[in-house]
């Protein structure tokens, strides 16, 4: 489970999509949310859009791996879909905040690798939020105010990247993914291979 977190406007969603494009062994976890669908969004592709009643039913029936309230709306990760991907040997990318990161780490720390993205500066963060052209001035102010709380949890993550350049940040993220896959505890079948290797008969040959 590969977690990517960052304040709004840092480039998290862009980088998450680029990871999916550049690594065929990982797919994006699609979150549920109670917020309104934006004009360019497709239900089931970008999010599963739910009413608050439907979302609360999912919580009560323990259908979510993690969930959090952000700006008065609920966000969560469907359990069944993620577990199916993991069982098939596929890595899963989570575009979630620090609350979701904490919850996933609490239940599966050994299977979690997490990265926190930092903006180069508050000024740059504000400019990026404006350039997105998704929110009005009031919402942008809310996102900027929340950024301090988000950033204060940076130390809870395994890796930190200051996102000055998308291409350089993507290269670092893909390198982290490759390195983490080589960790011995994640190499399924490695114990059996080493055991076979140790007990393999050595055929003596004349060395010239």
Length of the chain: 208
Radius of gyration of the chain (CA): 20
Residue 8 assigned ligand-binding role: yes
* Reported confidence tier of residue 208, pLDDT bands at 50, 70, 90: low
The C-alpha atoms of residue 130 and residue 9 are separated, in whole angstroms, by 9
Residue 198 falls inside a structural domain: no
Residue 10 assigned ligand-binding role: yes
Residue 12 assigned ligand-binding role: yes
* pLDDT at position 200: 81
* pLDDT at position 192: 80
Residue 190 falls inside a structural domain: no
* pLDDT over 70 at 203, yes or no: no
Residue 89 falls inside a structural domain: yes
Residue-range definition of the domain harbouring residue 26: 2-179
Q: How many domains does the chain have?
A: 1
Residue 128 falls inside a structural domain: yes
Residue 188 falls inside a structural domain: no
Residue 99 falls inside a structural domain: yes
SS3 at position 106: helix
Q: Where are the alpha helices (DSSP H) in the chain?
A: 12-22, 52-60, 79-87, 98-108, 122-132, 137-151, 166-181, 190-199
The C-alpha atoms of residue 200 and residue 45 are separated, in whole angstroms, by 49
Whether the Cβ atoms of residue 48 and residue 31 lie closer than 8 Å to each other: yes
* pLDDT at position 59: 97
Residue 6 assigned ligand-binding role: yes
State phi, psi for 19 to the nearest 5 degrees.
Answer: -60, -45
Residue 204 falls inside a structural domain: no
Which positions ≥6 away from 89 have C-beta within 8 Å?
A: 188
- Mean local confidence (pLDDT), 156-172: 97
The tens digit of pLDDT for each residue in 41-77 reads 999 999 999 999 999 999 999 999 999 999 899 999 9
**CA 124 from centre of chain:** 23
Residue 133 falls inside a structural domain: yes
Residue 179 assigned ligand-binding role: no
Domain harbouring 36, CATH code = 3.40.50.300
The tens digit of pLDDT for each residue in 101-113 reads 999 999 998 899 9
SS3 at position 15: helix
SS3 at position 184: helix
pTM given for the model: 0.85
Residue 13 assigned ligand-binding role: yes
* pLDDT over 70 at 196, yes or no: yes
* Reported confidence tier of residue 100, pLDDT bands at 50, 70, 90: very high
Residue 106 assigned ligand-binding role: no
* pLDDT at position 71: 87
* pLDDT over 70 at 8, yes or no: yes
């Amino acid at each position: 489970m590969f977690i990517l977190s960052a304040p709004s406007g840092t480039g998290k969603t862009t980088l998450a999509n680029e990871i999916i494009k550049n690594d065929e062994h990982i797919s994006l976890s699609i979150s549920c949310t109670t917020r309104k669908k934006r004009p360019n969004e497709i239900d089931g592709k970008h999010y599963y859009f739910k009413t608050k009643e439907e979302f609360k039913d999912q919580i009560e029936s323990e259908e979510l791996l993690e969930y959090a309230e952000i700006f008065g709306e609920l966000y969560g990760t469907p359990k069944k879909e993620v577990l199916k991907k993991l069982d098939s040997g596929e890595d899963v990318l989570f575009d979630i905040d620090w609350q979701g990161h904490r919850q996933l780490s609490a239940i599966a720390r050994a299977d979690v690798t997490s990265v926190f993205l930092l903006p180069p500066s508050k000024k740059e963060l504000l400019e990026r939020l404006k350039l997105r052209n998704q929110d009005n001035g009031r919402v942008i102010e809310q996102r900027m105010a929340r950024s301090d709380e988000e950033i204060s949890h940076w130390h809870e993550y395994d890796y930190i990247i200051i996102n000055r350049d998308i291409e350089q940040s993507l290269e670092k993220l893909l390198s982290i993914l490759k390195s983490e896959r080589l960790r011995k505890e994640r190499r399924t079948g490695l114990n059996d291979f080493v055991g076979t290797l140790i007990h393999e008969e050595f055929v003596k040959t004349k060395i010239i």
